[in-house]
Amino acid sequence: MPQPSDSPLLQIEDLTKVFHTRQGFSSKQFHAVDGATLSLQADKPEIFTVAGESGSGKTTLARLILGLEQASTGTLSYKGRSIGALSSREKRAWYYKEVQPVFQDPFATFSPLKRIDHYLYETVYNYKITDRAGANAYIDGILNEVGLSLAEIKGRYPGELSGGQAQRVSIARALITHPSLIVADEPVSMLDASLRMSIVNMFRKLKENQHVSVLYITHDLATAYYAADRIAVMLRGWIVEMGPVEQVLGDPKHPYTQNLKQSIPPINPDAVWNEKMDLAQLDSDAFAHVGCKYANRCPHVMEKCRTHEPPNILHEGRTVKCFLYE
Amino acid sequence: MTNIIEAVNLKAHYISSAYGVKRTVKAVDNISIQVKAGEIYGIAGESGCGKSTLLKVLLGAHRPPLTVVGGSVKYHFGARDLDVLTMDERTRSDIRWKDVSYIPQGSMHVLNPVRRIGSSFYDFISAHQPVSRRDSHDLARAYLSELGLPETVLTSYPHQLSGGMRQRVTIALATILWPKLIFADEPTTALDVVVQRGVIQLLKEIQQKEGSTLVVITHDMGVHANLVNRIAVLYAGKVVEEADTNTILKNPSHPYTQYLIKSLPRLDHRGERVSIPGRPPALDNVPKGCPFHPRCPFVMEKCKTVEPPVITVRAGHRVACHLVTGEVSHAATI
């Protein structure tokens, strides 16, 4: 359970986002994020990972935090102020300066027809960080933090850069406003294996040197384990297990987290998979399910799992949403 | 064991000329590989290193601007020897799916969206053996249940299935005629880990049941570790190292392979992981000498001018690096 802190950076309570889909006259509800509760502290920067399979609501959670979606219910507050109550002028002037995004595909982030340094200058001028004379030096300083220099990228188009370089520029752009929180949605999944670690290592460095918190959204548990301090595992809109990464991934308690961990291909040739696993046959509509959303796939399923929603239980230093630990 | 594929000094370039400007992309540059019958052979490397191009040439599916400049590819199916690059269209379509099959990249998007899965199965089977619709349906149903997939998919449209299920259906479709040789291009990319594990298991099962040969391309070393018997590591269109999976993962000799393994995050170890400095070269402008020399921590003068030859360190382990000579398999470690 997130400890109530004197200085919360980001506080999310019971956040829910419902999408409505229509088919003819019938309308269906779809809980993309369902009762998410988490908080980040301002005085202790950390890398917080949100992990889960595709369709688990990770990206919707990120979009809610970035203010790109309106929450259906629940509260989302940043530095003590409710985000939903901010006027759009305040959002632009303050919130968007404090919280910056990094997206999945660096080549989709930047227009291929614009020079990439244009984005950096534009951000500097938009937020009036420095005057025009100081812009070059300022941008060069920011680029140095991500291991690039202005001379390297000035006048170049995104297509002339490698994926890793473009993603670094994307992160540099996010750093320009000196944010306290970076929301990174799958920042390494489009990158090559050799470049992945350089980005993840950079997040670790930024946390140490710049005191930036990072909300790192990924389906890759191995990099999550490597980089993160805390982790929240999402399943169909629920946070099913949340706590320090050593505990959650070192010794997972929720049956879903256990399944996830066992599914990471071990790199050690002495420890490759031998036993068989059963895969879900057809995806039933688990979003609309009563009771636990994992009940159909869970090896420890009990009668009440099919009828009641499991509570959040504090167990060995993490919260688990499972009846097994009552 | 006999070789089922033999590729010798294969060179395939993308040659384009626009407005008098000639551009040559050397995607496959002097590659020689042999795949043994009944094994799972992995091809590893980053994007843009020529993995998929190599597969196209091995399949004989290259089309301009991709041109085979030199070398040969041969299949040996028992007593039958086939030259892939010179065989006629008739033979090619005869062996397609029956003897040689291909699981394409992004295979969850290859199913025809306006046909039921069962009709796709009929199309595939009827193209190669005379069957009635009912027989093909029975054949498909039997095969799916053998692979542990639900029969109901036959009456579904692709959009009704999840991504992982579509991937498995495509694999079933590509292997229903029990081909001797199966090529798979990034079969698990874009799947989440749980589904990925199921797909790896399925590929293994198919391979073991029929004793067929599987050639798998992926950049994910974790997949290689759990699926393949031997790995060839590609860099800038060349094979820089080839050995059995155990050697590649535990005892790699080429600095690039060492970096590739060292940079993998592991769940049993949280220490600092290195990342490879620099970036992979563009294939139309590959550095002279050893293509890895601008990123290599052990670079010598020789590396900048002389291309390292492929040396057999010991039986089944080939490396192309100046640091590695016949006697010493480990000149340096990162």
User: Which helix (H) or strand (E) covers residue A106, if one does?
Assistant: helix A106-109
Rounded Cα distance between B187 and B32, Å, is 24
Residue B147 or B322, more confident? B322
Q: Which residues pair with B43 in a beta bridge?
A: B217, B232
- The nearest CA of chain B is from the CA of A277 a distance in Å of 7
Sign of CA dihedral A158, A159, A165, A167: positive
Q: How many residues does chain B have?
A: 334
Contact between A293 and A55 (Cβ < 8 Å):
no
For residue A138, name the pLDDT band (cuts at 50, 70, 90): very high
For residue A284, name the pLDDT band (cuts at 50, 70, 90): very low
Partner-chain contact A279 B268, CB within 8 Å? no
pLDDT in tens, B33-75: 999 999 999 999 887 788 888 998 998 888 888 889 999 999 9
Would you call B310 helix, strand, or coil by DSSP? Answer: coil
Q: What is the mean pLDDT of residues B255-269?
A: 84
In a domain, A287, yes or no: yes
A132-145 and A116-126 helices, crossing angle to 10°: 120
Contact between A256 and A294 (Cβ < 8 Å):
yes
- How many CB pairs (< 8 A) connect A and B? 129
Rounded Cα distance between B264 and B144, Å, is 35
Residue with tokens 């070393």: B221
Half-sphere exposure of A295 (CA within 13 A, CB side): 19
For residue A35 the two structure tokens come to: 């009762």
pLDDT in tens, B80-132: 888 988 888 888 888 888 889 998 877 677 888 899 999 999 988 888 888 89
The CATH number for A236's domain is 3.40.50.300
A223 at the B interface (CB within 8 A)?
A: yes
Q: What angle do CA B215, B220, B221 make, to 5 degrees?
A: 85
Q: Which residues of A touch B201 (CB under 8 A)?
A: 273, 276-277
**A83-97, A225-239, A270-284, B33-47 — which is least confidently predicted?**
A270-284
CA distances from A319 to A1, A295, A313, A322 (A): 6, 18, 5, 9
Partner-chain contact B225 A197, CB within 8 Å? no
pLDDT of res. B217:
92
Contact between A194 and B259 (Cβ < 8 Å):
yes
For residue A99, name the pLDDT band (cuts at 50, 70, 90): very high
Res A27 pLDDT > 80: no
- Secondary structure of chain A: what % helix, strand, coil (to 5)? 35, 25, 40
Partner-chain contact B270 A273, CB within 8 Å? no
Residue with tokens 């940043």: A78
Q: What is the mean pLDDT of residues A287-306?
A: 80
- The nearest CA of chain A is from the CA of B129 a distance in Å of 30
> In sequence order, which residues have a C-beta less than 8 Å from that of residue B103 and are 6 or more positions away?
B170, B171, B174, B182, B183, B184, B185, B187
Res A277 pLDDT > 70: no
Per the rule left: phi > 0, alpha: psi between -120 and 50, beta: everything else, B316 is: left
B282 at the A interface (CB within 8 A)?
A: no
Segment 5-34 of chain A within 8 Å of chain B by CB: none
Partner-chain contact A267 B272, CB within 8 Å? no
Give the Cβ contact number of residue B293 at 10 Å. Answer: 20
Question: Phi, psi (5° rounding) for residue A100?
Answer: -125, 145
Please state, rounded to an integer, the average pLDDT across all residues of chain B: 86
pLDDT of res. B183:
93
- The nearest CA of chain A is from the CA of B273 a distance in Å of 7
A275 at the B interface (CB within 8 A)?
A: no
For residue A132, name the pLDDT band (cuts at 50, 70, 90): confident
B133-146 and B117-126 helices, crossing angle to 10°: 110
The CATH architecture that domain B3-228 belongs to is: 3-Layer(aba) Sandwich (3.40)
Question: Strand A181-185 vs strand A213-218: parallel, antiparallel, or unpaired?
Answer: parallel
pLDDT of res. B320:
92
In a domain, A2, yes or no: no
In a domain, A138, yes or no: yes
A152 at the B interface (CB within 8 A)?
A: no
Rounded Cα distance between A177 and B251, Å, is 46
Partner-chain contact B197 A249, CB within 8 Å? no
* Reported ipTM exceeds the 0.90 cut: no
Query: How many domains does chain A divide into?
Result: 1
Q: What is the mean pLDDT of residues B248-253?
A: 90
Domain boundaries, chain B: 3-228, 246-334
For residue A6, name the pLDDT band (cuts at 50, 70, 90): low
Residue A169, domain extent: 8-325
Q: Which residues of B touch A201 (CB under 8 A)?
A: 272-273, 275
Choose the closest CB to B274 out of A197, A221, A222.
A197
Please tell me which residue of chain B has the smallest CA distance to A219.
B192
pLDDT in tens, A297-312: 888 888 888 888 899 9
Choose the closest CB to A53 out of B47, B192, B223.
B192
Res A10 pLDDT > 80: yes
Partner-chain contact B275 A197, CB within 8 Å? yes
A251 at the B interface (CB within 8 A)?
A: no
Contact between A257 and A49 (Cβ < 8 Å):
no
For residue A288, name the pLDDT band (cuts at 50, 70, 90): low
Rounded Cα distance between B277 and A50, Å, is 28
Question: Strand B21-36 vs strand B3-18: parallel, antiparallel, or unpaired?
Answer: antiparallel
A299 at the B interface (CB within 8 A)?
A: no
How many whole angstroms from its chain centre is CA B135?
33
Res A220 pLDDT > 90: no
In a domain, A100, yes or no: yes
pLDDT in tens, A162-207: 777 888 899 999 999 989 999 999 888 777 776 788 888 889 988 9
Res B158 pLDDT > 80: yes
For residue B202 the two structure tokens come to: 């399925």
Question: Phi, psi (5° rounding) for residue A114?
Answer: -110, 145
Q: What angle do CA A158, A160, A163 make, to 5 degrees?
A: 65
Please state, rounded to an integer, the average pLDDT across all residues of chain A: 85
Partner-chain contact A268 B245, CB within 8 Å? no
pLDDT of res. A282:
44
Q: What is the DSSP letter of B291?
A: T
Alpha helices in chain B, H assignment, sequence order? 51-59, 89-95, 117-126, 133-146, 163-175, 193-210, 221-227, 245-250, 255-262
Res A325 pLDDT > 60: yes
Choose the closest CB to A259 out of B47, B194, B265.
B194
Please tell me which residue of chain A has the smallest CA distance to B256.
A194
In a domain, A3, yes or no: no
pLDDT of res. A316:
86
Q: Which residues of B touch A275 (CB under 8 A)?
A: none
Q: Return the residue in B171, B194, B196 with the most chain A beta carbons within 10 A, the one to mutate for interface testing.
A: B194
Q: What is the mean pLDDT of residues B187-215?
A: 85
> In sequence order, which residues have a C-beta less than 8 Å from that of residue B105 and are 6 or more positions away?
B52, B185, B186, B189
Q: How many residues does chain A have?
A: 326
Res B327 pLDDT > 60: no
- Torsion angle of alpha carbons A241, A247, A253, A259, nearest 10°? 80
Question: Strand A318-321 vs strand A238-244: parallel, antiparallel, or unpaired?
Answer: antiparallel
The candidate with the shortest Cα–Cα distance to A275, out of A299, A251, A296, is A299
A225 at the B interface (CB within 8 A)?
A: yes
In a domain, A1, yes or no: no
pLDDT in tens, B224-247: 998 999 999 999 999 999 999 999
Q: What is the mean pLDDT of residues B15-38?
A: 87
